Structure 1
Amino acid sequence: MVRMSAEERRESVVRAAMTEFARGGYYGTSTEAIAKRVGVSQPYLFRLFPGKKAIFLAAAQRCVEDTIRMFEEAAEGVEGEEALRAMGDAYRKVVSEEPERLMLQMQMYLAVAAAEQEGDHEFGEAVRAGWIRLWDTVHLPLGADVNETTTFMAYGMLINCLVAMGFPPDHRVWAGMEPEEPDEKRP
């Protein structure tokens, strides 16, 4: 049996936490569930991370990094309308094939809102910083046009909401998501 290094074990905790937090949110997920998914004890989990918040923030950061990498790869070597279509297609594919990523995004926004109400701004600062990096990743391939970027991100959030609510792909609410003209700005 090959032993994992602490860094490999840490990576497995982040991936497990992404799945668990996507399902149960920050408040509904126990560190026990994360430890069990990874196959480690809770005390070992807390040797890798100082607490539940640190685990959640690492999972949130990874979710954003994965999405940024997906957009970067999709837009590599293209810009403008071609980048918009490539990034939009990549995002729709990820949302349909990796629902945990979408659900973790939604859980991140909820955790920020709840924490902010309690006066805890650490969640918000970390998630907003990631979101700004995501914005910038999309913004440049779209010609650094704020309206193009805003429209792209707005359609992405609409996709998130429709998928999270379970609307099937053939439902009428999706009708406006398919571009009618080549210059539409939708993900």
Structure 2
Amino acid sequence: MAEFALGGYHGTSTEVIARRVGVSQPYLFRLFPGKKAIFLAASERCVEDIIRMFADACEGLEGEAALHAMGDAYRKVVSEQPERLMMQMQMYLAVSAAEQEGDHEFGEAVRAGWMRLWDTVHLPLGADDGETTTFMAYGMLINCLVAMGFPPDHRVWAGMQPPTRP
């Protein structure tokens, strides 16, 4: 995941991945049929880690309390484990590139993960589509700002607290 997060699907060699995990490239291909399978496994792991983080953060909470707990947990993960964020961004880029080439497998897998993520957030927020959309939109904005390298004290972060319910 760390290598794909840095180099993306097309910019990451399987040789670099094998070296990172301490195995030979031929052994890597005994575990996975190809680079796409490795990328999809890394993508699945990334999404599942985020789902687990949100679920753990809001366990026993609903509504605004869940909103703030999940938001705080995401901001912490992004600041402490930026490779999670960068892997998400690389997943979206890989889907776009693959779809343009007529390969829909990336898109199907990433969209399925996104829907599991959506549902994990949606239910604690009272199954409110607007609240879930706003929460996810803030998350994507966080992803973009971090990916562009804005430091935490930059003025672009000033409005990042999600609005509270009336």
TM range (shorter): over 0.9
- In structure 1, what is the equivalent of residue 13 of structure 2? 30
- Residue 36 (structure 2) pairs with residue 53 (structure 1): yes
Length, aligned pairs only = 166
Which residue identity does 1:149 align to in structure 2?
T
Alignment deviations for residues 27-69 of structure 1 (CA, whole Å, 9 cap, x no partner): 0000000111112111100000000000000000000000000
* 1:53-72 correspondence runs (5 A): 53-72=36-55
Q: Please name the residue that 1:183 is paired with.
A: 165
Structure 1 unaligned blocks of 5 or more: 1-17
- TM (normalized to structure 2)? 0.98
Q: Distance in 1 between matches of 2:78 and 2:165?
A: 23
The residue type equivalent to 1:175 in the other structure is A
Q: Which amino acid aligns with 2:38?
A: I
**Which structure has the greater CA radius of gyration?**
1
Separation of aligned partners in 2, 1:183 and 1:83: 12
Q: Detail structure 1 runs of 4+ shifted over 6 Å in the superposition.
A: none
In the alignment, what sits opposite 2:115? 132
Q: Over aligned residue pairs, what C-alpha RMSD do you find?
A: 1.1
The answer on 1:75 being equivalent to 2:58 is: yes
SS in 2 for 1:176: coil
Instruction: Tell me the SS of whatever aligns to 1:26.
Output: helix
Partner of 1:167: 150
**Amino acid in the other structure paired with 1:123:** F
Give the unaligned 5+ runs of structure 2: none
Identity of aligned pairs, percent? Answer: 85
Equivalent position amino acid for 2:57 in 1: A
Of 87, 111, 123, the residue aligned with 2:94 is: 111
In structure 1, what is the equivalent of residue 130 of structure 2?
Answer: 147
Query: In structure 2, how many angstroms separate the alpha carbons of the residues matched to 1:61 and 1:38?
Result: 17
SS in 1 for 2:149: coil
Which deviates the most, 31-40 or 50-59?
31-40
